[in-house]
Amino acid sequence: MAVIGILGHGTVGSGVVEVLLKNGSGIEKKTGTVLTVKKIFDRKSFPDLPYRHLFTKDAGEVLDDPEIDIVVETMGGLEPAFSYTKRALESGKFVVTSNKELVAEYGPLLQKIAHQHHVEYFFEASVGGGIPIIRPLKQCLAANNIYEITGILNGTTNFILTEMCKNGKDFESALFDAQARGYAERDPSADICGFDAQRKIAILSSIAFGQKVLYTDINTEGISGITKEDMLSAEELGYVIKLVAHAARTEDGIYAMVSPIMLPLGHPLADVEDVFNAVLVKGDAIGDVMFYGKGAGKYPTASAVIGDIIEAANYQPNSSGNAIMPDEVSATVLDSDQFAHKFFLRLKLKDAKGFEKEIATCMQDAKVHIFKNPLLAGEAGVFTGARKESELPLIRDTLASLDNTAAVLNVFKVSE
Amino acid sequence: MAVIGILGHGTVGSGVVEVLLKNGSGIEKKTGTVLTVKKIFDRKSFPDLPYRHLFTKDAGEVLDDPEIDIVVETMGGLEPAFSYTKRALESGKFVVTSNKELVAEYGPLLQKIAHQHHVEYFFEASVGGGIPIIRPLKQCLAANNIYEITGILNGTTNFILTEMCKNGKDFESALFDAQARGYAERDPSADICGFDAQRKIAILSSIAFGQKVLYTDINTEGISGITKEDMLSAEELGYVIKLVAHAARTEDGIYAMVSPIMLPLGHPLADVEDVFNAVLVKGDAIGDVMFYGKGAGKYPTASAVIGDIIEAANYQPNSSGNAIMPDEVSATVLDSDQFAHKFFLRLKLKDAKGFEKEIATCMQDAKVHIFKNPLLAGEAGVFTGARKESELPLIRDTLASLDNTAAVLNVFKVSE
């Protein structure tokens, strides 16, 4: 039997309690483990809940209760989550978290403290919501030299981009919709600026590559600059625009970024829609493997938290157990300027006649498309060959200065 | 440190040795475990391999060596794999297998013997090649009441169907191609008749539902009756034909089948091509989650075997560890006749004029499509409403007896 204390009865914390109440006997049957929630810390009151007697407004009642074996931290944010987690680990309690900010910032330190006290810090729910990804990376794929991870790691932005793509909405109204449905917060910047995906790819790449990748080193771009015309132009060319988080291990170091990318239809991530997430992992033995599911939400995230609780309840020292958050910072997170991509530039033309000829004089490897969609009248798209990001300003200027060009409307990286 | 003996140096067994030689130091760094192959049993000789000194033609040299902790069984088939596995477990050795026939037939018994001798029988590689699926089902999704599993579980048939669909090949030439590339065996019946997928869905559903599902109870249909015209007709209607393995837990019992199914484009399994496999799992907390990757092949399967070897090397009694193969046979595997599906019938017409009117007189919920593709000239497709499989002969007869019908060419189940 394991006795559980919960810190934070928000979306995820309440989901954990509800799933434990509903599926507790099934979990006991499958795993032989009885899981009991003894105390829930939250500043708010919940007088109408059937388990209202479990609540406390004093975190100490969870952290200092010697009967509690496992603390579930579903508060989010850095403080007081960090202090509470540290205190719980130092009292020899296991901690299970869904808090990606805290894991990305202090994961290695908290894991070290856990090990000093012969317990573990589990964080499967911090990436990909309910999708099993951290444990499979650690255990099932341990035979592999993993060299690339590419994912759609933020459900809110993927919902917004799907609404823009499928229903022709502009960014603002798709964001409004996401807020109305509770997918986006009132201040949506952590999602739409890419910071959430940045934390998650930092966690995944650290585990996969065995070197700490600082999230602050990851070049990150959000989705607020994407227009519905960008979506239409991508569609006409057989692409879809997604916010992609990517990390690769090369001979020179680690390269990581979060950025909107044009993915060709048929790419495994191109069909990932709405609030779904997916993570594509490349390893030398396994080839491509993909994990797909709901990347956020009350019950999917609770599912991942409870998976970790069961792991904690059955923990044995020296078992292959938990993924290791490496503490040593990677010597070289490479400057994204040094990586070559194909780029796509959407242009407003003064005159479509002669544009292809004019461009051939200055960019021989360019591929030009004059749009047919009447909503894109007078526009052209230009694909470059593989170019470094540092060359982009020059490319942009060159195209902007052509006689036929009225304006450069937008630029995207393109995936093969 | 763990000492390993390997039974069977075929595709998978040799892959295991090669990946251990190549990535052994990386595995040690990640997991702290040194893995050493001491002996390899095979009837053949391999005088040119750098590790030729490890071979023996006497299985006893593996099974009776007290230094060997972990036996890898990559022989396939029931005998002598069963006897060797039993003997290894009874000597207190862990056994890791990729042998789905053996797991589907004797998995529960072998697991019981393992537990009696305080070891484990690991079988992640028996389903989905390198795709992590059995351990995530057991560990990461333990919080869920899992009620449905749907998968493309056989890479050979998926390759054949992809060739037929993308390259317009007929079944025979696509099969020939699969054989030429080493994806299909000379006697390909285990794959193309659906028996391989049948074993795999039996294993997955037994673990997910906690009741032994006998593979012999699973209604199974293969792909040899599918023509390239069937593929074209599906394509014109926005579908793709895949060999799907499916198991669902209902209030009345478990329903399981392996069958060609028309999947609408946009279905998560519709884009799974070539030798790739995918498993879609539905749970009450997590919703839909999908695992995708190479379902067969030397290195992907070796990746899964080595994941299990690492698990065995770090095994601790009472850890949440291995998935449980239930020993009790499910009280009720439901008769597939009792389940309703939409069906699609492809017909040769005597006369397209008046066909829709004629069909409206006998099947009011039918949807009719007259094909436009010149290769399907004079053909029509009919979708039924949801009907039990037991009604199919009558539906077929009714359609065959219409004045406008020349022949019923083929019938498929249709997924929403």
**Across the interface, do A288 and B266 touch by the CB < 8 Å criterion?**
no
DSSP label at A49? S
Catalytic residue among B169, B200, B228, B413: B200
pLDDT tens, per residue, chain B with 416 residues: 899 999 999 989 999 999 999 999 988 888 888 999 999 999 999 999 999 999 999 999 999 999 999 999 999 999 999 999 999 999 999 999 999 999 999 999 999 999 999 999 999 999 988 898 988 888 888 889 999 999 999 999 999 999 999 999 999 999 999 999 888 878 889 999 999 999 999 999 999 998 889 899 999 999 999 999 999 999 999 999 999 999 999 888 899 999 999 999 989 999 999 999 999 999 999 999 999 998 888 899 999 999 999 989 988 776 555 677 787 776 577 777 777 889 999 999 998 888 989 998 888 889 999 999 999 999 999 999 999 988 999 999 999 999 999 999 999 999 98
- A55 within 8 A of A40, measured Cβ to Cβ: yes
Q: Dihedral (C-alpha) A95, A99, A104, A109: value to the nearest 10 degrees?
A: -20
Q: Is B166 on the interface with A (CB under 8 A)?
A: no
Contact yes or no for B311 and A318 at CB 8 A: no
Distance (Å, whole) CA B219 – CA A200? 43
Q: What is the pLDDT of residues A45-98, one digit of tens each?
A: 999 999 999 999 999 999 999 999 999 999 999 999 999 999 999 999 999 999
CATH number of A337-414: 3.30.70.920
Task: Determine contact: B54 vs chain A, CB below 8 A.
Answer: no
Contact assignment for B140 to A140 by CB distance below 8 Å = no
Question: Which residues in chain A have their CB less than 8 angstroms from residue B303's CB?
Answer: 140-141, 143-144, 283, 285-286
Does A289 contact B at CB distance below 8 Å?
yes
Partners of A265 on chain B (C-beta within 8 Å) are: none
Q: Are B284 and B145 in contact (CB under 8 A)?
A: yes
Q: What is the DSSP string of A156-210?
A: HHHHHHHHHHHH---HHHHHHHHHHTTSS-SS-HHHHTSHHHHHHHHHHHHHHHT
Contacts of A70 in chain B (CB under 8 A): none
What pLDDT does B319 receive? 57
Instruction: Round to whole Å and give the CA distance between B378 and B397.
Output: 19
CB contact under 8 Å between A316 and B317, yes or no, is: yes
What residue ranges of chain A are covered by domains with CATH 3.30.70.920? 337-414
Q: What angle do CA B159, B164, B170 make, to 5 degrees?
A: 120
Interchain contact B210–A (C-beta under 8 A): yes
* Residues A264-284 pLDDT 10s: 998 999 999 999 999 999 999
| Contact in structure between A201 and A153 (CB atoms under 8 Å) | yes
The pLDDT, as a whole number, for residue A251 is: 85
Which residues in chain B touch residue A144, judged by CB atoms under 8 angstroms apart?
A: 23, 303
Domain B2-129+299-313 is found in CATH 3.40.50.720: yes
pTM (two decimals): 0.90
What φ, ψ does residue B380 adopt, rounded to 5°?
Answer: -135, 155
Q: Are B218 and B165 in contact (CB under 8 A)?
A: no
What sign does the CA torsion over B361, B363, B364, B368 have? negative
Q: Nearest CB to B139: which of A20, A266, A307? A: A307
Instruction: List CB contacts (< 8 A) between B286 and chain A.
Output: 130, 293-294, 299-300, 303
Minimum Cα–Cα distance from A324: chain B residue = B30
| Closest in A27, A292, A302 to B142, CB measured | A27
What is the reported pLDDT for A110?
95
Lowest mean pLDDT among A13-22, A134-143, B108-117: A134-143
Percent of residues, chain A, with pLDDT higher than 90? 72
| C-alpha–C-alpha distance, residues B204 and B193, integer Å | 19
Write the secondary structure of chain B as one string of H (helix), E (strand) and C (coil).
CEEEEEECCCHHHHHHHHHHHHHHHHHHHHHCCCEEEEEEECCCCCCCCCCHHHEECCCHHHHCCCCCCEEEECCCCCCCHHHHHHHHHHCCCEEEECCHHHHHHHHHHHHHHHHHCCCCEECHHHCCCCCCCHHHHHCCCCCCCEEEEEEECCHHHHHHHHHHHHHCCCHHHHHHHHHHCCCCCCCCHHHHCCHHHHHHHHHHHHHHHCCECCHHHCEECCCCCCCHHHHHHHHHCCEEEEEEEEEEEECCEEEEEEEEEEEECCCCCCCCCCCEEEEEEEECCCEEEEEEEECCCHHHHHHHHHHHHHHHHCCCCCCCCCCCCCCCECCCECCHHHCEEEEEEEEEECCCCCHHHHHHHHCCCCEEEECCCHHHCCEEEEEEEEEEHHHHHHHHHHHHCCCCEEEEEEEEEECC
Half-sphere exposure of B168 (CA within 13 A, CB side): 1
For residue A247, give Cα distances in angstroms to A18, A254, A276. 36, 7, 20
Query: Between chains, do A285 and B292 touch, taking CB under 8 Å as contact?
Result: no
List where CATH 3.40.50.720 sits in chain A: 2-129+299-313
| Domain A134-294, CATH class in plain words | alpha beta
Query: With contacts defined as CB-CB under 8 Å, which chain A residues touch B135?
Result: 135-136, 139-140
Determine whether B294 is an active site residue: no
- Alpha-carbon A339 to chain mean position: 22
Domain topology for B339-414: Alpha-Beta Plaits (3.30.70)
Interface touch B291/A290, C-beta < 8 Å: yes
**Residues 6 or more apart from B25 whose CB is under 8 A from it?**
none
Nearest to A303 among B20, B27, B283 (CB): B283
Which positions in chain B touch A291 (Cβ < 8 Å)?
289-292
Asked if B136 lies within 8 A of A141 by C-beta distance, the reply is no
**Mean per-residue pLDDT of chain A:** 91
How high is the pLDDT of residue A409?
A: 95
Examine residue A80 and say whether the peptide bond preceding it is cis (omega within 30 degrees of 0).
Answer: yes
CB–CB of B93/B68 below 8 Å? yes
Residues of chain A with Cβ-Cβ distance to B274 below 8 Å are none
| B131/chain A closest Cα distance in angstroms | 7
Q: At what angle do helices A81-90 and A100-116 cross, to 10 degrees?
A: 20
pLDDT of residue B161: 97
- Which chain A residues are closer than 8 Å to B321 by Cβ? 314, 319
Sheet arrangement for strand A121-122: A55-56, A35-41, A2-7, A70-73, A94-97, A121-122
In this predicted structure, what is the pLDDT of residue B322? 65
Q: Are A411 and A396 in contact (CB under 8 A)?
A: yes
Is 80 exceeded by the pLDDT of residue A316? Answer: no
Examine the pLDDT at A322 and tell me if it is beyond 80.
no
Cβ separation A143–B284 shorter than 8 A = no
Nearest to B286 among A27, A303, A310 (CB): A303
- Segment 229-268 of chain A within 8 Å of chain B by CB: 266, 268
Tell me what pLDDT residue B117 has.
Answer: 95
Q: Residue A331: which pLDDT band, with cuts at 50, 70 and 90?
A: low
Helices (H), A91-154: 100-116, 134-138
Q: Would you please indicate which residues of A are annotated as catalytic (active-site) residues?
A: 200
Q: Which among A15, A124, A139 has the least Cβ separation from residue B307?
A: A139
Contact A288 B271 (CB under 8 A): no
User: Taking CB atoms and an 8 Å limit, are A286 and B293 in contact across chains?
Assistant: yes
Q: Looking up tokens 């990318």, which residue turns up?
A: A261
Nearest residue to A2 via CA among A319, A317, A315: A315
Q: Locate the chain B residue with the closest alpha carbon to A291.
A: B291
Confidence (pLDDT) at B69: 95
Closest chain B C-alpha to A275 CA, distance in angstroms: 12
A30 contacts on B by Cβ (under 8 Å): 138, 142, 210, 324
Cβ–Cβ contact A26 with B under 8 A: yes
Any B CB within 8 A of A2 CB = no
Residue B345 forms contact with A (CB below 8 Å): no
Distance from the B295 Cα atom to the nearest Cα atom in chain A, whole angstroms:
9
Give yes or no for residue A319 having a pLDDT over 60. Answer: no
The answer to whether B140 contacts A145, with C-beta atoms less than 8 Å apart, is no
Alpha carbon of A303: minimum distance to chain B alpha carbons (Å)? 5
Q: How would you classify the pairing of strands A367-370 and A405-414?
A: unpaired
Q: What is the pLDDT of residue A57?
A: 96
Q: Is B294 on the interface with A (CB under 8 A)?
A: yes
